Amino acid sequence: MTASILYIEDDLEIGRFVNEHLQAQGYTVNWQRTGEGALTAAEGCRLVILDVMLPGLDGFTIGQRLKKAMPDVLILMLSARTSIDDKLQGLQFADDYLTKPFHPDELTARIEVLLRRSGARLAEPLAIKHLLVYEQQNRIENRDSGAEIMLTGKQFHIFSYLLRHLGQILTKEQIYEAIWGEAYMDGDKTLMVHIRYLREKIERDPASPKIIETVRGIGYRVRP
Amino acid sequence: MKTPKERLNRLRFRQTLLSRYLLIILFAFLFIPIVLPIATFAYVIVQENVKRADDSYLKYGSSSEITAMWHEQAALLGQADAASVDRKLEELRLKYTEASLFWVDSSGTTMLQLPPQERLPIHWSPADAVQFMKNSIDSDPFTIVSFLGAEHEGPAFMVMQIPRSIIQLDRPIGSGTPFYVAILLIMIGLFFLLSLLFFRQIRKRLIGLQAAMSLQGNQSLPQPIVISRHDEIGQLETAFNLMVEQLRESKERELAEEKLRKQLIANLSHDLRTPLTVMNSQLYSLSREPLSVNGQTVIKQMELKIGSLDNLIENLLSYTLMTSGRYPIKLEQQDLLRIVRESAASWYPLWEQEGIAADIDLPDEAMLLEVDKAGFRRVLDNVFQNVIRHAKSGSYIGIKVETYEGRLALVIRDHGNGLDAHTSSKGAGLGLAIVNYLLHEMRLDWHMASSSDGMTIYIFEQ
């Protein structure tokens, strides 16, 4: 499935390059050089990539209007403005903020993460090591045996949270606060216990886990 | 329209506190020579009035009035016979009921007595008359003797005796002194009250001014105050309002300048980074072409250089903002280790990629400190960046909590070539200057220990 992207960038060279790069990745791209008519152009798009410094309306204003009109559309700011203030201002409405110069691979990686996190769930199952994860059906299958793996509510929550942040290391505080919705307390072992049970269900060898990897001193990670 | 300054100078003397103070002083000086005589004068006048009031209160008038009346009656009876004198006395007796009346005829015989008195001689010898007169002087009752006849030629005479309490009020001399003292005391009290009120008012206004100075309105500036009176304190208040106005203006100027500077930096950042972005994307396209191994290496090198140039621009712009005090720092109680873990999580993939082994050993207990989260992330970013750039050869990064000089410290250690490697490469100095600035702003201290085995950075509370 290809997602369609609205890309607003006034610089010709960067615009042409990004346009081609994204098309090469299989996305349908609508490249506009100004923010005028962005609202109509964004119809039917999953994601909008916005530059900040544009002729006429600036990217922040366009982004805010877009988010207000279409809360479901994802917004990725792609800007040469790197100050904390700018990032904070951008992230008030945008879903991600990438600074220029950027590596094209990072751009595509971020777009993928955004699309996945937003629940634009992939029709094809996600294959991780010996597991097949059907995100739409909330189903996890063991490829070795073809059997479905049943998880408890919390276990499934934790696992899908890690999957949404594929390749990203998450600290125990981040996971705890995302799943339980309350502030993490020092020395709380709840998450560790849940992860241990989760591993027993999904890992081939829970003693040396391959799917949910422990990054010592930091947290956990699921690598694609 | 008058400017406030003109208003300050055009202060009328009678409006000043000085004039009022001088008035009070003058009052104090005039106390003895003016107030005392005034009080005395008032006393005398009051006394007189009181006396006159007393006189009119007396039933038969004062002693002199009665004496005059008696002499007048005596003069009318000059040629009268004994019977008409008796009648006259009886008539008078009806009017002056408290009085004792009698008369003595020309032969010296006591005639009518109203009422009869025992001690009077029947026949008056000259010695009797002298004795009677002598006894009567200044005694009670008050005695009036009058010879009959127009010229009071005598020798017949008539006598009226009347108790002194009826013709004279019993009022000792000096009975008005308490009144006099009271007037003086009231005057002194009035003086004290006046000076007290004067100073109380000054004090109240000064305290009001002080409160206005310590009170902070919007933009953390004091608010202008209402000018109560146009005297010296009024001038002070005007000057205060002027100062508040100037402060507000300079604050606005400062904000405008800050905005301008931020705009400038944002534009600069945009203008510098746009070409870098173009270069980066073109390199990316180039790397997709079939190239020799050498060509790929060159591209890799250029990508690295673009990365470090980008970093340098970032640091330069941040440092400009910081040194001009425009970098927002918001201190909040936070778990330092949590920030460290989050930062390390984002750097970890890069360390893996560069073959740097991360040895992270942080305790479970929170390390609560007053820090700015974004600022501290920036510190860590700069330190980690330096490790990747200058200490890659050590293939090691250690992040721990240890004690340093008796204090708990966050320790970041590498196994590179030490300080030389860090400082000799351009750009590292700026990164560390930012670290230094931010840590200082967050009231944290740091220490850098360098040897040929690598470098260790300790971050601890001041």
Q: pLDDT tens across B276-322, in order? A: 999 999 999 898 889 899 998 999 889 888 888 888 888 888 888 88
Same domain, B47 and B179: yes
Same domain, A60 and A154: no
Q: Are the C-beta atoms of A130 and A143 separated by less than 8 Å?
A: yes
Last residue of a domain, one of A89, A117, A145: A117
Residues of the domain holding B100? 76-167
Confidence band for B1, pLDDT divided at 50, 70 and 90 = very low
Beta partners for B242? none
> How many domains are contained in chain B?
4
Same domain, A21 and A106: yes
Same domain, A152 and A96: no
d(CA B230, CA B19): 13
Q: Are the C-beta atoms of B160 and B99 separated by less than 8 Å?
A: yes
Last residue of a domain, one of B260, B294, B327: B327
Residue B34 host element (H or E) = none
- If one counts every other C-beta atom within 10 angstroms of the C-beta of residue A145, the result is 9
In a domain, B228, yes or no: no
Q: CB distance A83–B321 less than 8 Å?
A: yes
Q: What is the CATH number of the domain that holds A47?
A: 3.40.50.2300
Q: What is the CATH number of the domain that holds B414?
A: 3.30.565.10
Residue A1 has pLDDT above 50, yes or no: no
Mutate to test the interface with B, among A22, A87, A169, A213 (most CBs of B within 10 A): A169
Same domain, A211 and A170: yes
Residue listed under structure tokens 């009290």: B189
Residue B147 has pLDDT above 90, yes or no: no
Nearest CA in chain A to B262: A83
Same domain, A103 and A137: no
- Which comes out higher in pLDDT, residue B457 or B226? B457
- Which comes out higher in pLDDT, residue A77 or B112? A77
Residue listed under structure tokens 């860590």: B380
Look up the ipTM and state it.
0.78
Confidence band for B175, pLDDT divided at 50, 70 and 90 = low
Same domain, A112 and A166: no
In a domain, B239, yes or no: no
Residue listed under structure tokens 């008056």: B124
Same domain, B12 and B154: no
Same domain, B301 and B355: no
Q: What is the CATH number of the domain that holds A175?
A: 1.10.10.10
Same domain, A139 and A214: yes
d(CA B71, CA B146): 6
What is the rounded average pLDDT for all residues in chain B? Answer: 82
Same domain, B454 and B412: yes
Last residue of a domain, one of A68, A93, A117: A117
Nearest CA in chain B to A107: B281
Beta partners for B462? none
**For chain B, what is the radius of gyration of the CA atoms?**
57
Nearest CA in chain A to B365: A186
Three-state SS string over B143-210 comes to EEEEECCCCCCCCCEEEEEECHHHHCCCCCCCCCHHHHHHHHHHHHHHHHHHHHHHHHHHHHHHHHHH
In a domain, B231, yes or no: no
The partner residue sitting opposite A13, judged by closest CB among B278, B310, B341, is: B278
Same domain, A95 and A141: no
Residues of A in contact with B364 (CB under 8 A): 186-187
Confidence band for A9, pLDDT divided at 50, 70 and 90 = very high
Same domain, B152 and B203: no
Residues of the domain holding A135? 126-222
Same domain, B86 and B149: yes
Same domain, B452 and B358: yes
Same domain, A12 and A82: yes
pLDDT of residue B56: 59
Nearest CA to CA, how far is A81 from chain B (Å)? 6
Same domain, B110 and B190: no
Same domain, B117 and B80: yes
The partner residue sitting opposite A100, judged by closest CB among B274, B344, B364, is: B274
> How many domains are contained in chain A?
2
The partner residue sitting opposite B266, judged by closest CB among A86, A168, A215, is: A86
Axis-axis angle for helices A153-164, A104-117 (nearest 10): 160
d(CA B397, CA B351): 9
In a domain, B235, yes or no: no
| Cis before B363? omega within 30 | no
Same domain, A90 and A147: no
Q: pLDDT tens across A51-63, in order? A: 988 888 889 999 9
d(CA A137, CA A141): 11
pLDDT of residue A78: 92
Q: What is the pTM of this model?
A: 0.59
d(CA B66, CA A87): 116
In a domain, B378, yes or no: yes
Same domain, B261 and B351: no
Q: How far apart are the first and last CA of chain B?
A: 56
Same domain, B322 and B334: no
Q: Are the C-beta atoms of A202 and A160 separated by less than 8 Å?
A: no
Average pLDDT over residues B348-357: 90
Same domain, A25 and A111: yes
Q: CB distance B328–A86 less than 8 Å?
A: no
Confidence band for B55, pLDDT divided at 50, 70 and 90 = low
Same domain, B261 and B338: no
Q: Are the C-beta atoms of B150 and B77 separated by less than 8 Å?
A: no
Last residue of a domain, one of A117, A140, A157: A117
Same domain, A98 and A167: no
Q: pLDDT tens across A110-136, in order? A: 998 888 777 655 556 788 888 888 877
The partner residue sitting opposite B276, judged by closest CB among A81, A101, A167, is: A101
d(CA A212, CA A203): 8
